[in-house]
Amino acid sequence: MTASETDLRAGAITQPPIWLRDNCPCAECRDPRNGQKLFGITDLPPDLTVTNVSGTTVTYSDGHVSRFDPAFLEAQHGPDDRCEDAKRLWGSTDAPEHDWARFLSDPEHRADCLHAVMRTGFTLLHGVPAVPGTVLDVASEFGFVRETNYGELFDVRVEATPNNLAFTGLAIAPHTDNPYRDPVPTVQLLHCLSNAVDGGESGLVDGFHAAALLRAEEPDAFDLLSRTLVTFRFADGGTELVTTQPMIGLDPAGRIREIRFNNRSMQPLRLPPDQIAAFYTAYRRFAEIVTRPELMVTFRLGPGDCVVFDNTRLLHARTGFADSGERHLQGCYADLDTIASRHKVLQGQLAFARLRELFDGPGTADYLGEEVTQAQHMLQAAALAESAGASPELVVAALLHDVGHFTGPLTGAELMGGTDNRHSHVAAAWLAHWFDPAVTEPIRLHVAAKRYLCALDPAYAGLLSPASRYTLEVQGGPMTDQEVADFEAEPYADDAVRLRRWDDAAKDPSLTVPPFDHYEQRIALLARPGL
């Protein structure tokens, strides 16, 4: 083992040199304007080694240096948000319901609605005007309409010469749509314009849950359905679509990721004769699970209702209805990736709006008797961090470091009255709803950093403002030797000390600094969905 390998193992860094170098965040390696990588794998030396590691700064054999954020190195690869692990599987759940007018006017409601489609697999929207074509307006709020051979939208009503059984009054068993398309449309919408018939009730089944039950009850059947290729086909005068995929699609780690289930369009199996019976037994088992009444949510679509669902996961069904009377739905398709994107962007905007309320409201209050308000103090700290070239995470940490004075049970007034309000911990816990440790950890440690600096450097205490010197005592006074050692072992100790220095300097009533809105993009990009 070389010295550098020993260093690598001893420290926080466990990734091999090639991984580190491929993920170097420096401006030479990634375009700072968009974060995109500026080189390819063949541009890197194949025999690259690490010659030095100091904290999370890595030097390579060709002289290049990478400075990593500790949280980035620790982050584990979570499951793909399309696979079963990222979902809430359900039996007959109460249907998530949303309201179209609120969806359009209330960003929290909209985020909740998008989230329902991602996690539960569907939502039932009410109050969508029963006007032909409106399903396209709904789809474009969720993403981009995916036009198909049926058009931008399709009418589901009884037709004289139906090219699809959906356009009759027959019952339709649980199925996914367009299994004969590759790629398959991943989201489906059905909007009800009228439903004045006997019958015509709707049903939804969580296909991931059904497949997981099959795996638990009959592992061999599950295995067969995930490995056997099945062909689906749709043909009419102008179209012939054919796709071959297993009914239960798995990701490379074996997690359920995509269901294709449609008896109407399934084609003859092309398997060796001795394998056919086993396939049919497995297929029958899955179909039996899928039709268990306790697994299905049933509801009746009325005019103005629109169901939006994940067509890679949910199976939809309807009961038959008599041809007399009017039943008219309009449907269209869209995609899940855009729903996830809109949800992420919206969460960022919501986090920004919530934080701005703090700055505009309680932030305007007096800051522990200093000559600046709470908000001015934090804006100054952020401006100092930005001028010092700090990472976006640390700039946002500086911007938000004192929100604990007005988000917890105890305020700054209580701190000045001699009771520690633990504002650094309160802020870090509250902000963890949106932000990673690279933002919250320096905040959690910014009071500790003051106690640390006082222990190390008596001159530092002399630089503190009178209020800060007073609160130092309430917060535990200078650190003991043991506390100093513990603090230095914290991965974000350096960032906390940097933040502390800006904090101490951010009390200047004559300073003009950028307003809160200046940080909008940074906050929106760093805030992740609070799931």
Q: Give me the least distance between CB of 471 and Zn ion, in Å please.
A: 10
x/- map, 190-219, ligand OGA, by CB under 6 A? ------------x-----------------
Total residues contacting Zn ion (rule CB under 5 A)? 3
| Residue 181 contacts ligand OGA per CB under 6 A | no
Which of ligand OGA, Zn ion, none has residue 402 at its interface (CB below 5 to 8 Å by kind)? Zn ion
Which single residue is written with the structure tokens 């990593």?
68
| Residue 318 contacts ligand OGA per CB under 6 A | yes
Q: Quick one: CA dihedral 111, 356, 447, 452, positive or negative? A: positive
How many Å apart are CA 150 and CA 148, to the nearest integer? 5
How many Å apart are CA 185 and CA 139, to the nearest integer? 12
| Residue 185 contacts ligand OGA per CB under 6 A | no
Q: Give me the least distance between CB of 376 and Zn ion, in Å please.
A: 11
CA 221 to chain centroid, in Å, comes to 33
Q: Are 146 and 311 in contact (CB under 8 A)?
A: no
Give exposure, 324-352, as e/b (b: 16+ Cβ within 10 Å).
eeebbbbbbbbbbebbbebbbebbbbbbb
- CB of 172 or CB of 378, closer to ligand OGA: 172
Q: Give me the least distance between CB of 202 and ligand OGA, in Å please.
A: 5
Give ∠ CA 178-248-148 in degrees, rounded to 5. 15
x/- map, 156-175, Zn ion, by CB under 5 A? --------------------
Which member of 89, 259, 329, 426 binds ligand OGA (CB under 6 A)? 329
| Residue 310 contacts Zn ion per CB under 5 A | no
Q: Which tokens sit at 60? A: 């390579």
How many Å apart are CA 118 and CA 82, to the nearest integer? 8
Which member of 177, 386, 393, 436 binds ligand OGA (CB under 6 A)? 177
Which member of 24, 118, 124, 156 binds ligand OGA (CB under 6 A)? 156
- CB of 301 or CB of 415, closer to ligand OGA: 301
| Residue 493 contacts ligand OGA per CB under 6 A | no
Give exposure, 292-319, as e/b (b: 16+ Cβ within 10 Å).
eeebbbeeebeebbbbbbbbbbbbbbbe
| Residue 158 contacts ligand OGA per CB under 6 A | no
Q: Give me the least distance between CB of 172 and ligand OGA, in Å please.
A: 5
| Residue 402 contacts ligand OGA per CB under 6 A | no
| Residue 135 contacts ligand OGA per CB under 6 A | no
- From residue 523, alpha-carbon distances to 26, 291, 403 in Å are 21, 46, 15
| Residue 504 contacts Zn ion per CB under 5 A | no
| Residue 166 contacts ligand OGA per CB under 6 A | yes
Q: Are 51 and 6 in contact (CB under 8 A)?
A: no
- CB of 291 or CB of 407, closer to ligand OGA: 291
Which member of 90, 115, 154, 177 binds Zn ion (CB under 5 A)? 177
| Residue 305 contacts ligand OGA per CB under 6 A | no
| Residue 84 contacts Zn ion per CB under 5 A | no
Q: Give me the least distance between CB of 125 and ligand OGA, in Å please.
A: 15
Q: What is the CA radius of gyration of the chain?
A: 29
> Side chain identity at 256, as an amino acid letter?
I
Query: Which of these, 121, 136, 122, 127, lies nearest to 103 by C-alpha position?
Result: 127
How many Å apart are CA 17 and CA 516, to the nearest integer? 39
Q: Give me the least distance between CB of 3 and Zn ion, in Å please.
A: 41
Q: Are 381 and 391 in contact (CB under 8 A)?
A: no
Q: Give me the least distance between CB of 175 and ligand OGA, in Å please.
A: 7
| Residue 503 contacts Zn ion per CB under 5 A | yes
| Residue 506 contacts ligand OGA per CB under 6 A | no
- CB of 4 or CB of 402, closer to Zn ion: 402
How many Å apart are CA 232 and CA 116, to the nearest integer? 29
How many Å apart are CA 284 and CA 296, to the nearest integer? 18
Number of H helices, E strands in the chain: 22, 17
- CB of 139 or CB of 156, closer to ligand OGA: 156
- CB of 172 or CB of 282, closer to Zn ion: 172
| Residue 402 contacts Zn ion per CB under 5 A | yes
Within 186-225, the residues that bind Zn ion by CB under 5 A are: none
| Interacting residues toward ligand OGA by CB under 6 A | 156, 166, 172, 177, 202, 316, 318, 329, 331
| Interacting residues toward Zn ion by CB under 5 A | 177, 402, 503
